């Protein structure tokens, strides 16, 4: 039976892993251009070089992958598709990708959709108010194949409600590429591979730990806001107190002080009430600082305090919650003075 060009194209398409088979590959680089070249290489190997079917297929497959591998990986690491700067999470290096498809990646599945992964939920909540906040959902993406193996990246995407917050974007681990060996009879079903299940579990674990950190940061931010609110309340009570103290002193020094005991008592009561309010609010503020959490959430606590406190950064420095060097803006804009 003579192998036709169309049959050869189907053989190559089934043999070579990669998103180009579905999405068309690089802009301006049509699927048929690469598959036709690979199919002709296969027919040449079979009919002219008299190679066996398996050897001819192995020799022709890289022709279909050539542009896809060499150029797509360069796109990925060349900051196309809105790739952010690398950041660390535990011992892993991640990058935030604004558009995974434009970066040369094919979405494989969410972690809960992968067979054998054992993930039975659709994401991890980032706030204590589970029904209103965002969630992180682990997933698996596919890089162009290399060396006869499919290559996977795992990470997470952000959701709010039932929809992705930024469709197509994801934070992916770029320091750990999962390789899936491709057998001769492989037909592109990555969902059943053990390596894919491993990647899905790792993606879910990454989403879980990241969501837990965000919950801690969110809680620290709210405690910082509560401290700022308490500080504002103490400051407001102090503003009310000062004129009352002045009036009480003046009344006590006046010639009619002995004739107005009720007025003195009322002023004294108001002063005592305000002093108690100031004491309680400051104690609440200081307790919140004591609950500011571990070092990783300290910035979140400060942010909450400075967002809520009337004095902002200056007030945080004055109370010892921050130092002048903690300023994150332009040095010349530091309200506590230009840093040396």
Q: How do residues 50-97 score in pLDDT, each as one tens digit?
A: 667 777 777 777 666 543 333 333 333 334 445 667 777 777 888 888
User: Of 19, 42, 77, which marks where a domain is finished?
Assistant: 77
Count of domains forming the chain? 3
- What letter does residue 327 receive in the DSSP assignment? -
Q: How confident is the model at residue 36 (pLDDT cuts 50, 70, 90)?
A: low
- Residue 304: is it exposed, middle or buried by C-beta count within 10 angstroms (0-12/13-18/19+)? buried
Whole-model pTM over 0.75:
no
Both 97 and 113 in a single domain? Answer: yes
User: Of 53, 77, 101, which marks where a domain is finished?
Assistant: 77
User: Of 58, 77, 96, which marks where a domain is finished?
Assistant: 77
* Nearest partner of 220 among 156, 305, 140, judged by Cα: 305
Domain residues for 149? Answer: 87-213
* Nearest partner of 284 among 201, 202, 227, 242, judged by Cα: 227
17-31, 77-91, 103-117, 173-187: lowest mean pLDDT where?
Answer: 17-31
Both 185 and 245 in a single domain? Answer: no
CB 70 within 8 A of CB 118: no
The better pLDDT of the pair 309, 329 is held by 309
Both 93 and 206 in a single domain? Answer: yes
Q: Residue 340: inside a domain, yes or no?
A: no
**Spatial distance between the Cα atoms of 267 and 296, rounded to a whole number of angstroms:** 47
**Spatial distance between the Cα atoms of 217 and 297, rounded to a whole number of angstroms:** 5
On the question of pLDDT at 306 being above 80, the answer is yes
Both 131 and 204 in a single domain? Answer: yes
**β-bridge partners, 209:** none
Both 71 and 135 in a single domain? Answer: no
* Nearest partner of 321 among 211, 230, 215, judged by Cα: 230
**Spatial distance between the Cα atoms of 10 and 19, rounded to a whole number of angstroms:** 15
**Cα Rg for the chain, rounded, in angstroms?**
32
Q: Residue 243: inside a domain, yes or no?
A: yes
Proportion of the chain in helix, strand, coil states, percent, rounded to 5: 55, 15, 30
Q: Residue 82: inside a domain, yes or no?
A: no
Both 249 and 311 in a single domain? Answer: yes
Would you state the pLDDT for residue 29?
38
61-65, 157-161, 298-302: lowest mean pLDDT where?
Answer: 61-65
Would you state the pLDDT for residue 75?
30
The better pLDDT of the pair 170, 83 is held by 170
Both 207 and 233 in a single domain? Answer: no
123-132, 157-166, 196-205, 276-285: lowest mean pLDDT where?
Answer: 123-132
- The C-alpha torsion from 172 through 304 and 297 to 316, rounded to 10°, is 130
**Spatial distance between the Cα atoms of 311 and 280, rounded to a whole number of angstroms:** 19
């Amino acid at each position: 039976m003579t192998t036709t060009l169309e049959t050869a194209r189907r053989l190559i398409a089934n043999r070579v892993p990669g998103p180009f088979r579905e999405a068309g590959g690089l802009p301006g680089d049509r699927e048929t251009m690469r598959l036709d070249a690979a199919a002709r290489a296969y027919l040449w190997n079979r009919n002219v070089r008299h190679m066996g079917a398996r050897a001819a297929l192995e020799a022709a497959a890289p022709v279909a992958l050539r542009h896809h591998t060499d150029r797509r990986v360069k796109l990925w690491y060349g900051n196309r598709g809105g790739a952010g700067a690398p950041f660390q999470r535990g011992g892993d290096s991640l990058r935030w990708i604004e558009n995974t498809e434009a970066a040369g990646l094919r979405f494989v599945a969410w972690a809960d959709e992968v067979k054998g992964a054992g993930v039975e939920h659709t994401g991890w909540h980032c706030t204590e108010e589970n029904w209103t906040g965002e969630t992180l959902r682990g997933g698996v993406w596919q890089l162009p194949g290399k060396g006869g193996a499919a290559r996977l990246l795992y990470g997470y995407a952000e959701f709010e409600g039932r929809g992705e917050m930024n469709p197509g974007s994801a934070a992916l681990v770029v320091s750990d590429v999962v390789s899936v060996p491709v057998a001769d009879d492989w037909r592109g079903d990555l969902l059943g591979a053990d390596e894919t299940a491993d990647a899905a579990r790792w993606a879910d674990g990454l989403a879980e730990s990241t969501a837990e950190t965000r919950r801690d940061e969110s809680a620290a931010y709210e405690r910082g806001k509560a401290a700022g609110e308490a500080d504002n309340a103490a400051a407001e009570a102090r503003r009310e107190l000062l004129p009352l103290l002045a009036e009480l002193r003046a009344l006590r020094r006046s010639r009619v002080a002995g004739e107005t005991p009720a007025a003195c008592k009322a002023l004294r009561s108001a002063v005592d009430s305000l002093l108690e309010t100031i004491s309680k609010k400051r104690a609440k503020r200081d307790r919140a600082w004591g609950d500011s959490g571990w070092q990783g959430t300290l910035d979140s606590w400060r942010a909450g305090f400075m967002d809520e406190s009337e004095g902002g950064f200056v007030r945080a420095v004055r109370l010892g919650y921050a130092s002048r060097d903690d300023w994150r803006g332009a040095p010349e804009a530091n309200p506590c003075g230009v840093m040396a």
